[in-house]
Amino acid sequence: MAAPLTDNEALFQFLLRMGDNTLILGHRVSEWCGHSPVLEEDIALANTALDLIGQTQMWLGLAGEVQGEEKSADDLAFLRDVWDFRNVLLVEVPNEDFGRTLMRQFLFDAWHSIQLGHLMKSSDERVAAIAAKTSKEVAYHLERSADTVVGLGDGTEESHGYMQAALDYLWPYVGEMFVSDEVDAAMAKAGIAPDPASLRADYDALIGRVLAEATLNIPDSGFAHKGGRNGKMHTEHLGHLLTQMQWLQRAYPGASW
Amino acid sequence: MYAQMVQSEASTDDPEKLAAFQARIDAGEKIEPKDWMPAGYRKTLIRQIGQHAHSEIVGQLPEGNWITRAPTLERKAILLAKVQDEAGHGLYLYCAAETLGVSRDELTEMLLDGRMKYSSIFNYPTLNWADMGAVGWLVDGAAIMNQVPLQRTSFGPYSRAMIRVCKEESFHARQGFDAIRKMATGTPAQKKMAQDAVNRLWFPALMMFGPSDADSVHSTQSMAWKIKMNTNDELRQKFVDQTVPQIEFLGLDLPDEGITWNEERGHYDYSDPDWSEFFDVIKGNGPCNTDRLAARNKAWKDGEWVRDGLLAHARKKAARKHAAE
Amino acid sequence: MKNEWPLWEIFIRGQHGMSHRHVGSLHAPDAEMAIKNARDVYTRRNEGVSIWVVEANNIAASSPSDKGPLYEPSESKVYRHPTFFDIPDEVGAM
């Protein structure tokens, strides 16, 4: 068994979790650009992706600082392999269709907005500052994704079918956001971030309200895939995503772009 | 240009009204959607603005091709913001066309089934990262040549859309030049990418202006109506004159051996693009025509349930509200 | 088209204290989504502090042939414009 985490290592891991979530989700959302159902949605999705890329620069930038090995946000994004990534599995599953993309966005936004609400009160000023800036963006993401989930859930029979299928597929990936481990314990103890498990009640209330309005049924299962937040077992999809994302940096090492 | 070889319609309207209309245009007045206008003016504009809008939307694809492979977070954000702007420009232009009595969905259907065209340039592939620089710098650079004068076009909604587009577009060419400059001064491999991009995209960029139209009847009518502001050759020459020194600044080889400074004319001479290739591309035989249209068709078809679903919900919500009152 | 989203006209207040100005149009299934779409489409560069949306169908407009009767009468009422009045310089700002 490895030596116990130092506070600094725990903080680094926590920042990777925040930054990898936004990095991978931002990447997925950016895949829609030019292919959305309607121009207005294309523009809106690009805005969401742009926000997430900007948030990644902040979280991974701070992670690099805390790590103390002179690594930039780009180094962390483009030069780590799958096992070093700390995002939840939810954000790496493929877009599939617009319904699944928006459902994934909503399920993530709901957690993200609650999490950032707590982080604004973080004992670490740098974390609190990033949270204060990004929480406004995320509040809008949540408003938009929740509205779209309601609109499509309560739309036509066909759109309802797509959204229920999306929820059924994604539900097993929700639980991982609320599993606490030793990194979280260290963060909670230091007053830097809340214990993930403590966010579940607020989360259930929020998504329960929206999904009821969307006339969708939350699957009756508490099963949760896990392995993303600690890097022990990502999905097969992440490797393919990184193959694209990191290609230029890997093929032409040391070049400046 | 983004609208190439737009045929203008001959007018069959009352000569007195036509003369009054022409007088308004000559006086620099803007024509607004509810004003009387010749049927030919309306039809030509729908064709031109529609084609311009389609070019923006199809134009998202070659650059979108590299969003997921952008080499840094900042480059990814810049590229995404730029391609998003193109969606916005398409949107503004469709709205301008809609004031003439055609719906966006109708225009879209005409693009998807091939009745309407988009610019030839977007049927060329983007093959290496330097293409993202070259497209912004050369393709957007060429488009701006045309769009800046179009801000003064006679049709009010088109002019206003162009003003907005030009305002937003100013960063596009600059970011492209910045990206390719980084490559041209980078490693040998990067420089090779930059040269490859310029070599491949130079003639397709020149083709964007369309074949010589000095003697074209369509062109004369469109210019009288102030919906075309310059001849194709004028704009192409301006583009060459502006771009050649930039290529030299980058330290790249000129992509055409025919480029020489002509002291007498005060312009660069250059080789004519292969117009038979241009007409092939226009006819649907460019390297990417089939893929581009297939991608647009897929997005439209896959998105149908989304558009219908959100509209159905809006109607239900309105009905519920109505019932509660 | 059978299921095309309605067209909305978008008005944005650029700064506090200014009036809303027409900036363009877009499509949306209803007013709420039109506001959200306007935020995403027309304020990408920090252009606004407040958004109005009006369904294009609901705008009543004067027709161009009314141009004379509607606007010309005001042209003769030059006294409505401050420059009509000659105020001696020594009176000061007014």
What is the distance between the alpha carbons of residues A20 and A88, in angstroms, rounded to a whole number? 8
Q: Is residue A82 part of a domain?
A: yes
Q: What is the pLDDT at residue C67?
A: 61
Distance from CA of A206 to the nearest CA of B (A): 21
- Is there a domain that residue A2 lies in? no
- Model confidence pLDDT, tens digit, residues A104-138: 999 999 999 999 999 999 999 999 999 999 999 99
If we measure between CA atoms, which residue out of A171, A172, A192 comes closest to residue A17? A192
Domain annotation covers residue A1: no
- Which of A32, A33, A40 to mutate to test binding with chain C, by most C CBs within 10 Å of its CB? A40
Distance from CA of B31 to the nearest CA of A (A): 27
**Lowest pLDDT segment from A195-209, A239-253, B258-272, C15-29:** C15-29
C4 to A38, B40, B99: CA distances (angstroms): 11, 27, 16
Q: Check pLDDT > 70 for residue C65.
A: no
Burial (Cβ within 10 Å: 0-12, 13-18, ≥19) of residue A188: middle
In chain C, domain spans = 7-87
Burial class, A157, CB count within 10 angstroms (exposed 0-12 / middle 13-18 / buried 19+): exposed
Whether B23 has its CB under 8 Å from any CB of chain A: the answer is: no
Neighbouring chains of B at 3+ CB pairs under 8 Å are A, C
ipTM: 0.96
Phi first, then psi: what are they for B249, rounded to 5°?
-60, -40
Q: Is B225 helix (H, G, I), strand (E, B) or coil?
A: coil
How confident is the model at residue C1, as a pLDDT? 47
Higher pLDDT: A74 or C83? It is: A74
Q: Average per-residue pLDDT in chain A?
A: 97
Residue A145 predicted with pLDDT over 60? yes
For residue C6, which residues of chain A lie inside 8 Å, CB to CB?
none
Q: Pick the range with the lowest mean pLDDT from A145-154, B10-19, C7-16.
A: B10-19
Whole-structure pTM value: 0.94
Structural domain that includes position A130: 7-251
- Full pLDDT tens readout for chain B, 325 residues: 677 877 777 667 889 999 999 999 999 999 999 999 999 999 999 999 999 999 999 999 999 999 999 999 999 999 999 999 999 999 999 999 999 999 999 999 999 999 999 999 999 999 999 999 999 999 999 999 999 999 999 999 999 999 999 988 878 988 999 999 999 999 999 999 999 999 999 999 999 999 998 777 778 899 999 999 999 999 999 999 999 999 999 999 999 999 999 999 999 999 999 999 999 999 999 999 999 999 999 999 999 999 999 999 999 999 999 998 8
- List chains adjacent to chain C, taking adjacency as at least 3 C-beta pairs closer than 8 Å: A, B
Tell me if C3 and B308 make a contact (CB, 8 A cut-off): yes
CATH class (in words) of the domain with range C7-87? alpha beta
pLDDT average, residue stretch C51-78 = 76
Instruction: Provide, as residue numbers in chain A, all residues whose Cβ is less than 8 Å from the Cβ of C8.
Output: none
CB contact under 8 A, C33 and A151: yes
* Interface contact B56, partner C, CB < 8 A: no
What phi and psi values does residue A2 have, to the nearest 5 degrees? -70, 160
Domain membership of residue A257 (yes or no) is no
Interface check A143 vs C, CB under 8 A: yes
What is the domain count for chain A? 1
Interchain proximity C40–A47, CB inside 8 Å:
yes
Please list every residue in chain A whose beta carbon sits closer than 8 Å to the beta carbon of residue C26: 40
Beta bridge partners, C13, equal C50
Q: Does a structural domain hold residue A34? A: yes
Q: Which residues contact B111 (CB under 8 A, 6 or more apart)?
A: B50, B54, B57, B58, B118, B296
